Each structure stands twice: as structure tokens, then as C-alpha cells.
Structure 1
Amino acid sequence: MDSLDSRIIDHLRINARAGYGDIGTSIGLSASAVKRRVDRLVADGVIRGFTIQVDPAVEGLSTEAYVELFCRGTVSPAELRRILSAVPEVVDAGTVTGSADAIVRIRSRDIPSLELALEKVRQAPNVDHTRSAIVLSRLIDRVHD
């Protein structure tokens, strides 16, 4: 990957629907050259997909929380993935260093539905307890901005 590929990716991050000609004009390449590069980036797995971002509030998912997950004993990442995949409100999760075993991001309609989602997570046999923080306002979201 070279600097032109990086600039193409920067344009696609801002607008995945940007035309090859528009990108090419901006970075000094023809539309066909941009298309070839994008095709190669996709084939090489650098670009893993193109998607849309829907405002969660429009879908009725305006309540968001970050949840620290604490497990009993040793639980593999595969087991945590299995547990968390069963809870549709879980939108993001990862294992972490520190006292928690994982950090989970949950989106729900409201506080009662958030509580139900947390109960689903807590009922897993290896989960000891959770610690939650409800998001009041989103300050930075580089993934979706």
C-alpha cells in the first residue's frame, strides 16, 4: 500500500459512495486507475467492505452503555464471543487488559431494555458480575464521522 492507496482509503472513509472520477481528480489519478487500485485493495483484504451507517436513534436505539465484564476463572475469547453473540443489543465487544475480562458496548431502546440486555449477559454461567456506564453524550466517533 502506498500513499495514493492511503489517500483513496481516506476519501472512501469519508464517503464510501464517492465516484472513482471524483477521487481521481482529488488525488491526481484517472478514474480507471482509482478503480484498479480499489479492486486490488478489496482483493488484498485491505478494504473489507462497503457499508452504510444508520443513526441508531432513528432505529430506536438511543440508549448506549459501556459494560465491563468480569468472569469467574479463565474464559476463552471464543467462549466470550459465543456468550455475547447471543445478546442482539451487544454491538461491540473486546477482551481487555486490567481487572475486567472484556468491554462490551450495548445499544438499546431505553433503560428497561438495557437492563434486560444486561441480565442476559449476567446470566451466562462464566460471568461473575458487570460494571456499567451509560453514555450521556457522544463526543467523538471517528469510526462513523
Structure 2
Amino acid sequence: MTEIDDVDHRLLRMLREDGRRTFSEMAPEVGLSVAAVKRRVDRLRDSGVITGFTIQIDHAKLGRAVEAFVEITYTGSTPVGEIVRTAYRAPEVQAVHTIAGAPDALVQVRVRDIAHLQQVIDGLRRTGHVTGTKTLMVLGSWTRN
């Protein structure tokens, strides 16, 4: 486990808010030199705390305004790899989380509308290994930065 102090946490929070933020922008906010900020970020990357940099997308502007999570229950003998493969066949699937207990997986999907959501769910159900689904519509989302 990597030792992380308050400055590291502040740097991580700033990078979560904007992964393109420069060391020069972050340095005055944490009271360090640009070189010191770079060393800290490099250390966080080298230790595996920072695993990559991503972007945030407005899915509504791409025609995928509806977000839902689908709980999926599979037959008892379905291997985890098969669960992930069958769920990821649908391009609307954003993430697959295998979980303990029932259900077996929580699948995040983004679709155009309710009719499109129904098509995606029907496709997930037709895999042959699925014994049940439950869909949870997202009304709003908040993330911790």
C-alpha cells in the first residue's frame, strides 16, 4: 500500500476534476513547486495509484440520454468470463460488475430511449444463461471528486 498524504489527496482530487490540468496549475493550489508536483504525480503513477487519465462524456449529446443498471441472474454454473462476454456483446453496455450474492452481475447501459432499453434487455435475456433481470433507471448521478 502506498503512503498518501493530504497533498497527494488534493492532487488526486484536482486530476479527477480535470485530468488535463497541468502541473503549473496545480502547484500554487498545493503550495509546491512545479517540479515537486510532477515528482508526486509520477510517484502516484509509478506506484499504480493513478492508473490512467480519462474524459467525461455528455452521453445525451451523443443520443444516449437514458442510463440504467440491469441486475442479471445467470444459471449457477455460468463462469465469470462468460458473464462478462455475454454482457459486453451489446454495444450499449458501458460496464459490467460481477457481484457477490444474487444477482450475479450489475450491468450499466446507455440507450436512446425506453424502447431501445427494452431491446437491449431482451438481447441480454436471450443469451441462454440468463435466468432473470431487474432494471433500475437512473434519474440523476453524482460522483465524489
- Is TM > 0.5 for Structure 1 vs Structure 2? yes
Q: Which residue of 2 aligns with 1:66?
A: 69
Instruction: For residues 72-130 of structure 1, give each alpha carbon's deviation from its aligned partner in whole angstroms, at most 9, with x where no partner exists.
Output: 22222211111111111111221223321111111111112111111221111211121
The whole-number CA distance in structure 1 between the counterparts of 2:79 and 2:8 is: 37
- Give how far 1:55 is off: 0.6
Q: Which residue of 1 aligns with 2:94?
A: 91
Q: Which residue of 1 aligns with 2:117?
A: 114
- Give how far 1:57 is off: 0.3
Aligned residues: 142
Q: SS in structure 2 opposite 1:92? A: strand
Q: SS in structure 1 opposite 2:131? A: strand
Structure 2, gaps ≥5 residues long: none
The whole-number CA distance in structure 2 between the counterparts of 1:118 and 1:31 is: 50
Structure 2 length as normaliser, TM-score?
0.88
The whole-number CA distance in structure 2 between the counterparts of 1:134 and 1:67 is: 9
The whole-number CA distance in structure 2 between the counterparts of 1:94 and 1:15 is: 25
| CA RMSD, 1 decimal | 1.6
Identity fraction in percent? 37
Q: SS in structure 1 opposite 2:20? A: coil
